[in-house]
Amino acid sequence: MTAHLLPRSISTATSAVIGATSIAPLYSAVVTLGLMHALVGRWTPVVLVAAVVPMAVVSVCFARLDDLYEDQGTVYRWAREAFGEFAGFLGGWGLWLSATLVLASLAWVTADSALFALGLDPGAWTTTGVAAALMAVFAAVSSTGIRVSAAVQAVLAALQLVGVGVLVWAMRTAPVLADGTGTADGEWSGFYTDVLTGGELTAGNLAAALLLALFLYWGWDSTFSLTEESTTQRAPRVSAWIALAVVAAAYALIGWAYVPGASVGSPLLASLVAVSAGASIGTTMIPTSRGLMSMARGGHLPRRFVSLAFATWTTAAVAAAWMAFSGSLFDDSIGIISVLVALYYGLACAAAARLARTAGTRALGVAGAVLMGLALALTGWEYVLSATWVGVGVALVLLVVPLWFLLGRGRDPLPGAHERAPHLESLRN
């Protein structure tokens, strides 16, 4: 069974491109800024800046853990080493599930905005079919290996940089709707412009906005899934920090330009958002499939998941099913994903607190775990009776228990799975 992994083949620059396109700044801003404004109103720019702090803390924890265990499974491997096999399985489940759900959202937005750019309005099921086809195309590219994926992403990343400039210009020049509802005739807008008054700055609203901000920045950690394919051990962390810095600068521009109620839309803008979301489909598949491969290598999934192609196509199929049958829950996907991301980020920070060799890193690990846990707790307390996405997110997390008994036990790990830096040669048999 061939894994199609290429040891020591990805440079820092290439990895940074993958990290930045994983975040998909255009797509993330379009689907999240309006929701964040509805929660905290004029405090939205402050929350955007504040969200960089927990991301920096988590990224340092990832870097220190990668020093100890160079593994493409990232939080799966680290949680397993720190807290045991079930905790590792939980971390791997949280990472895979969050990425799979966002793939559905990415594919839908890509199809919807691309069809608008072409002047078409085919209906929900046709859009779903186009989205599934797009997901299949990117799955085919991703399953061939990292070099082909990296070449495609380099082109899409350049288009996204141009797109950020276009979005900033469009928001500053767009007409503002007087009643704050809908969009002007013939216009397209991914912004949630129907809720514009802004919420009160309560602890729950702030926590929910911070969780949404996690979604805005989420994706930089995809560079650590390439750790075994990177040319140097420092490449994943350096490229992650480069990606975070570039995207933070882009968000600073977008946040400055954002005008609630602006009717932002044109075929050009829609096509740029499609490029952003489409690029992230490909890059999101990279850590998702490699996480499954690591879990199979460690004996916590069937052996067939050691294949890059099988892991990638399985993920694409589940994402397409969620997109087709989730119904009204699809609108809550951003919140659900934020819950799952906070879970596995918090678990990684807790693992850093347990495994780190220095007091400073242990303190950062504790701080990161507390921040993630506090955001989850405050959000759940504020919205326990009103927000579907909190309940669904918790339910999806709890699915780990039956899956652990069905899939996660009873297999011996492959050779090298428990070493500090597992050998890729064991995957080429």
| Segment 140-184, tens digit of pLDDT | 988 887 888 888 888 888 888 888 888 788 777 766 655 544 444
Note the helical H segments in 71-175.
75-83, 85-117, 124-142, 146-173
The pLDDT score that the predictor gives to residue 176 is 65
Q: What is the mean pLDDT of residues 311-340?
A: 77
Rounded average pLDDT over 321-331 = 68
For the stretch 33-73, pLDDT in tens is 777 777 777 777 777 777 788 888 899 999 999 988 888 88
Instruction: Please give the pLDDT value at position 40.
Output: 78
C-beta atoms surrounding 380 within 10 Å: 18
As beta bridge partners, residue 262 has 176
Model confidence band, residue 416 (pLDDT cutoffs 50, 70, 90) = low
**Concatenated DSSP letters for 85-115?**
HHHHHHHHHHHHHHHHHHHHHHHHHHHHHHH
pLDDT at 264 over 80: no
What's the mean pLDDT in 118-146?
Answer: 86
Higher per-residue pLDDT: 183 or 113: 113
Please give the average per-residue pLDDT across 376-401, as a whole number.
64
Query: Whole-angstrom distance between the N-terminal and C-terminal Cα of the chain?
Result: 6
Q: Which two tokens stand for residue 82?
A: 């720190």
Q: What is the pLDDT of residue 117?
A: 83
Q: For the segment 361-376, what is each residue's pLDDT rounded down to a tens digit?
A: 899 999 999 988 887 7
Nearest to 341 by CA among 349, 351, 353: 349
In order, the DSSP letters of 219-275 are TGGGGGGGGGGBSSTTHHHHHHHHHHHHHHHHHHHHHHH--TTB----HHHHHHHHH
The pLDDT value given to residue 388: 60
pTM to 2 decimal places: 0.82
Cα–Cα dist 191/212, whole Å: 14
